[in-house]
């Protein structure tokens, strides 16, 4: 009877495994089928123009079709003075195509057969259901058997992970295992589900978030680090797949840098490098014209990339990666290793990018987990900051932010732990703090004022007062000096650009410079201290809409301002040090943006992005914390979890509506 109960209890798990196995088997069948190309030969004659070309519902840049001097681009249209100019386009068999001509002298030959053009338009709309029918064959059954095995393992691993959440038995190493497992499930099932369901793919994602909340509510102690571990695995993997490739700000440049580092030995260049066709095509496909609101990236665009282009021979076109050329190599090591292995075994370019995102996110998640676990007070604020939607977007991407943001969180946690430590600080703690400072120094310049928090550590926690003062000063100066010299080489190009204001202008015209900075402060201060942490997704600036935005702002204001049980009341000195460190970082970031990104004649700073201010969130919010606003209710931590998960549900809806 007990065995029968056990089997009945596990029926939902069996159903989930079966459904995922079916989706996975069809996914891999269609991934394989999508490697086949359709060939379109487009002919235009004098007086006829190629006006519009959509592939997989995304506009293709007309200029890319100009292959020689017999054609030219006029008003974004391809023209020719010849009687017959032809260009060939290859698309995946799962991708639709739409071609619009102006004039009557056009022909389209599809796989060797001339097609009919009506009213200047040729379209070949390929339904996803037809692609599914065409891809199913004998291999699908083999894929199903393999998928059944892997999905059984994956689902059991995830089920075990959340059992550990409920039993407060989670360990740090469970997080990367869960992330890897979910990555396998998503890569096997997400893109097909996205192609079929479109924006309704949000339904199973929200169901997963509901399950996360359920597991947190069943947890006995509801530790903040366990709440983080429960939420972060689902939201991180979802953003890895939901945000289009190279659409996290500057991700294309960072991916280019990681790819170049993976080559180990390359000739010196001036910030332009000839990357392989697979990488170039991936960038172009998912970033072309993305600032145009009518441009979409449908799920079918991913299907052809999952088993797609793995040609890593260097091509003749050069790509600009100057903005990251001189940055420290350390943050790029995980992605460079993945790219090195992947290109040598012929893995698809899309998979390399996704795995690079995953590797960075695993590192950031583990660091944040330890930070939340280690810090003795303000744990709720740490949880909120580490689960800001933009914090997750930046740490689940190929860039430097994954390391800068997470290591900043750990640094603040380590210092706060030292501030409230009851015993003397031991050597091991200084070693860990030194390593954290070193990593922060080689990440990005400007965040060294976080070390001002060390001056809040009571001198009694050191061996004596003299050692305390020397230690604090040494740590602060070391972090400042090392990060300064690391950053010098990264600013070489901008220092030579005379069209920018530059550092010299700041010192020779301080009043005018300060006015320009103040214009930026008054214009965007709200965005830089909270709004930009929960809004503004992807490279194309996807924003929450009206009621969604107001609901999220309300929830976060409540989350940040409400005093929690483990928070400490701060005296005026403590509060000032937290706020001064945050304000110093804001001033430094503004000064860097003014000197390196703002062109002469501008009345406000350009080049600023709210993500640059994520490391100041903790000292700023702690400095503004209060002990007056309290909410007395049972299961407050469950309420926090619900509010955070609702935020991510809204964020996922916003992203799917923007790109679907």
3-state secondary structure at position 537: strand
Q: How many CB atoms lie within 10 A of CB 54?
A: 17
Half-sphere exposure of 444 (CA within 13 A, CB side): 23
Give, in order, the Cα–Cα distances in Å from 526 to each of 52, 281, 521, 535, 554: 40, 38, 9, 12, 14
Q: What tokens appear for 518 in the block?
A: 């103040």
Alpha carbons 631 and 563: distance in angstroms, whole number: 8
Phi then psi for residue 88, to 5 deg, are: -110, 135
Q: Which residues pair with 43 in a beta bridge?
A: 86, 107
Q: Any idea of the CA torsion for 264, 265, 267, 273, to the nearest 10 degrees?
A: -20
At 238-277, the pLDDT tens digits run 999 999 998 898 898 899 899 989 988 777 777 788 888 8
Q: Angle 604-608-613 (CA atoms, 0-180°, nearest 5)?
A: 130
Q: CA-CA distances (angstroms) from residue 209 to 16, 234, 264?
A: 16, 7, 41
| Cα 297 to Cα 64: distance, rounded to the nearest angstrom | 19
Q: Give the pLDDT confidence score for residue 493 in this predicted structure.
A: 54
In the prediction, which pLDDT does 56 show? Answer: 84
Encoding tokens for residue 316? 């003749």
pLDDT at position 491: 59
Instruction: List, for the chain, all residue ranges whose pLDDT scores fall below the cut of 70.
Output: 1-9, 289-296, 488-497, 540, 633
Determine the Cα–Cα distance for residues 411 and 616; give it in Å rounded to an integer. 12
CB atoms within 10 A of CB 579: 16
Neighbour count for residue 582 (Cβ, 10 Å)? 25
* All residues at 6 or more sequence positions from 363 whose CB lies less than 8 Å from its CB, including other chains: 334, 402, 403, 406
Distance (Å, rounded) from C-alpha 106 to C-alpha 115?
Answer: 11
Let me know: does 493 contact 321? Beta carbons within 8 Å: no
Q: Which residues of 461-499 are buried (b: 16+ CB within 10 A; e: fewer)?
A: bbeeeeebeebbeebbebbbebbeebbeebbebbeeeee
Q: At what angle do helices 349-374 and 333-344 cross, to 10 degrees?
A: 150
Token readout for 218 is 């069943």
The answer, as to whether pTM is greater than 0.75, is yes
Q: Taking every pair of C-alpha atoms in the chain, what is the biggest distance, in angstroms?
A: 89
Q: Are 228 and 369 in contact (CB under 8 A)?
A: yes
pLDDT at 4: 45
Check residue 439 and give its pLDDT: 92
Q: Determine the number of helices (DSSP H) and then strands (DSSP E) in the chain.
A: 26, 12
In this prediction, residue 8 carries a pLDDT of 62
Coil vs helix vs strand at 88: strand
Q: Which helix (H) or strand (E) holds 79?
A: strand 77-80
pLDDT value of position 305: 92
Q: What is the model's pLDDT at position 171? A: 94
Nearest-10 Cα torsion for 13, 19, 25, 26:
-160
Give dist(CA 586, CA 424) in Å, integer: 33
Q: How far apart are CA 148 and CA 145, in angstroms?
A: 5
Element (H, E) at 72: strand 71-74
DSSP letters, 382-393, are: HHHHHT-HHHHH
> What secondary structure does DSSP assign to 114-153, as a single string?
EE--BTTEEEE---HHHHHHHH-SHHHHHHHHHHHHHHHH
The DSSP string of 601-616 is: T-SS--S--GGGGGGG
Contacts of 268 (CB under 8 A, 6+ apart): none
- Measured CA to CA, the distance from residue 89 to residue 77 in angstroms comes to 16
d(CA 173, CA 370): 11
Q: What is the pLDDT of residues 16-27, one digit of tens each?
A: 999 999 999 999
């Amino acid at each position: 009877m007990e065995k029968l109960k056990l089997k009945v209890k596990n029926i939902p798990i069996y159903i989930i495994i079966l459904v995922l196995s079916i989706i996975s088997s069809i996914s891999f069948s269609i991934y394989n089928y999508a490697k086949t190309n359709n060939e379109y030969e487009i002919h235009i004659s004098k007086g006829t123009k190629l006006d519009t070309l959509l592939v997989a519902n995304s506009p293709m840049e007309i200029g890319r079709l100009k292959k020689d001097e017999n054609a030219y681009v006029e008003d974004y249209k391809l023209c020719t003075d010849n009687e017959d100019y032809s260009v060939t386009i290859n698309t995946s068999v799962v991708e639709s195509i739409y071609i619009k001509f102006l004039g009557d002298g056009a022909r389209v030959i599809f796989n060797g057969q001339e097609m009919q053009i009506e009213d200047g338009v040729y379209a070949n709309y390929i339904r996803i259901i037809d692609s599914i029918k065409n891809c199913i064959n004998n291999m699908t059954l083999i894929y199903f058997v393999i998928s059944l095995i892997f999905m059984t393992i994956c689902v059991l691993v995830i089920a075990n992970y959340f059992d550990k959440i409920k039993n407060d038995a989670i360990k740090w190493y469970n997080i990367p295992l869960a992330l890897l497992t979910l990555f396998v499930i998503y890569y096997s099932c997400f893109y097909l589900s996205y192609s079929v369901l479109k924006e309704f793919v949000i339904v199973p994602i929200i169901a997963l978030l509901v399950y996360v909340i359920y597991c947190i509510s069943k947890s006995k102690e509801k530790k903040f680090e366990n709440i983080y571990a429960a939420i972060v695995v689902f939201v991180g993997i979802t953003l890895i797949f939901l945000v289009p490739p190279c659409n996290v700000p500057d991700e294309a440049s960072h991916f280019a840098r990681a790819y170049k580092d993976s080559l180990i030995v390359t000739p010196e260049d001036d910030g332009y490098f000839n990357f392989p066709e697979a990488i170039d095509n991936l960038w172009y496909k998912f970033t072309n014209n993305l600032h145009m609101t009518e441009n979409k990236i449908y799920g079918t665009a991913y299907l052809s990339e999952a088993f797609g282009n793995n040609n890593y021979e260097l091509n003749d076109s050069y790509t600009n990666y100057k903005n990251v050329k001189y940055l420290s190599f350390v943050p790029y090591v995980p992605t460079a290793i993945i790219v090195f292995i992947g290109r040598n075994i012929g893995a698809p370019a899309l998979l390399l990018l996704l795995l690079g995102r995953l590797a960075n996110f695993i590192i950031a998640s583990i660091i944040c987990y330890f930070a939340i676990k280690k810090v003795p007070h303000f744990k709720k604020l740490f949880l909120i900051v580490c689960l800001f939607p933009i914090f997750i977007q930046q740490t689940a991407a190929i860039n430097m932010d994954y390391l800068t943001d997470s290591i900043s969180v750990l640094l603040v946690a380590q210092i706060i732990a030292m501030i409230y430590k009851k015993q003397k600080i031991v050597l091991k703690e200084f070693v860990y703090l030194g390593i954290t400072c070193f990593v922060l120094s080689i990440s990005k310049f400007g965040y060294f004022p976080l070390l001002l928090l060390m001056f809040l550590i009571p001198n009694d926690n050191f061996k004596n007062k003299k050692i305390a003062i020397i230690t604090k000063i040494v740590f602060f100066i070391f972090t400042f000096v090392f990060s300064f010299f690391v950053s010098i080489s990264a600013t070489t190009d901008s220092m030579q650009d005379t069209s920018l204001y530059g550092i010299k202008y700041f010192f020779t015209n301080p009043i005018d410079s300060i006015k320009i900075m103040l214009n930026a402060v008054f214009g965007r201060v709200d965005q830089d201290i909270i709004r930009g942490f929960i809004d503004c997704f992807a490279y194309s600036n996807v924003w929450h809409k009206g009621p969604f935005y107001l609901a999220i702002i309300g929830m976060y204001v409540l989350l940040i301002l409400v005093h929690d049980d483990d928070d400490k009341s701060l005296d005026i000195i403590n509060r000032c040090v937290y706020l001064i460190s945050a304000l110093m970082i804001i001033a430094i970031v503004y000064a860097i943006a003014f000197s390196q990104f703002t062109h002469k004649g501008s009345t406000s700073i350009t080049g600023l992005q709210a993500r640059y201010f994520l490391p100041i969130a903790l000292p700023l919010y702690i400095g503004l914390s209060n002990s007056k606003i309290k909410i007395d209710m049972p299961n407050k931590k469950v309420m926090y979890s619900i509010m955070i998960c609702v935020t991510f549900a809204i964020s996922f809806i916003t992203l799917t509506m923007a790109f679907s």
